[in-house]
A = this chain, B = another copy of it.
Amino acid sequence: MQETQFVLMLWFIGIVAEAMTGALAAGKQRMDLFGVVIVGSATAVGGGTLRDMMLGNYPLIWIENWHYLLAIVLASLLTVVIAPVMQYLTKLFLTIDALGLAVFSVIGAQKTLMLGLSPAVAIVMGVITGVFGGVIRDILCNQVPLIFRKELYGIVAIVTASCYVTLQLAGTEPWLNLSVSLWLGFSLRMLAIRFSWSVPTFHYSIGERR
């Protein structure tokens, strides 16, 4: 199996996991099945779509290959069916989601470097790809995005994308870079969940600003 196929497989697992988090969030808002599918889809492809629209990088992946959308729609609907047993699968689910986060961050950075853009922009795009699906999900569900408040989610995206970009610039062999970056991101996310690591919060309440 080639490295591109390997990444594609991981990416596919990632978008399915993201579609499921979107469908569950929709269920918490008691949305109908149409809402479930839309929120699931927006969560799954939202980060990558925003990245490519910012880069002017057309056509979008899911427009070029609509089979991904079909998989996302099915994953969203499947989530509704298996929701009653989801409580027993929390650990499995968090694990897949952590893998998805690492893969999205690496892919976002990788695609940006391939377009010949700067390392700094590649890291930013890795973060956008990794976390903005979740941001769009929470906006559609009328919530303050949870990744802005809890756990080490955004930081994992920054570290993962930075690691990938650094090793790439250092001329590391692609397979090695991929393995190290994905493993670092995945481990960091799992450790953050296990030990409830979080980023300091900023609480501002003085006065009233527009």
Give chain A's interface residues, CB within 8 Å of chain B. 21, 23-36, 38-39, 49, 53-56, 58-60, 63, 66, 69-70, 80, 83-84, 86-87, 90, 93-94, 97, 117-118, 120-121, 124, 135, 139-151, 153-155, 158, 198-207, 209-210
* Option from B36, B145, B202, B210 in Cβ contact (under 8 Å) with A21: B210
Q: Which one of A27, A38, A94, A202 has the greatest number of beta carbons of chain B within 10 Å? A: A202
Contact indicator B150/A204 (Cβ below 8 Å)? no
A141 surroundings in chain B (CB, below 8 A): 144
A84 surroundings in chain B (CB, below 8 A): 206
What distance in Å separates the Cβ of A175 from its nearest Cβ neighbour in chain B? 28
Contact indicator A198/B140 (Cβ below 8 Å)? no
A70 surroundings in chain B (CB, below 8 A): 120
Copies in the complex: 3
Contact indicator A63/B32 (Cβ below 8 Å)? no
What distance in Å separates the Cβ of A68 from its nearest Cβ neighbour in chain B? 11
Contact indicator A59/B60 (Cβ below 8 Å)? no
What distance in Å separates the Cβ of A203 from its nearest Cβ neighbour in chain B? 5
A26-B202, A139-B139, A206-B86 known; A31+B80 contact, CB < 8 A: no
A63 surroundings in chain B (CB, below 8 A): 54-55, 117, 121
Q: Which one of A144, A151, A153 has the greatest number of beta carbons of chain B within 10 Å? A: A144
A149 surroundings in chain B (CB, below 8 A): 29-32, 35
A23 surroundings in chain B (CB, below 8 A): 202
Q: Find the B residue at minimum CB distance from A120.
A: B66
Contact indicator A121/B31 (Cβ below 8 Å)? no
* Option from B34, B148, B201, B203 in Cβ contact (under 8 Å) with A147: B34
* Option from B32, B60, B204 in Cβ contact (under 8 Å) with A148: B32
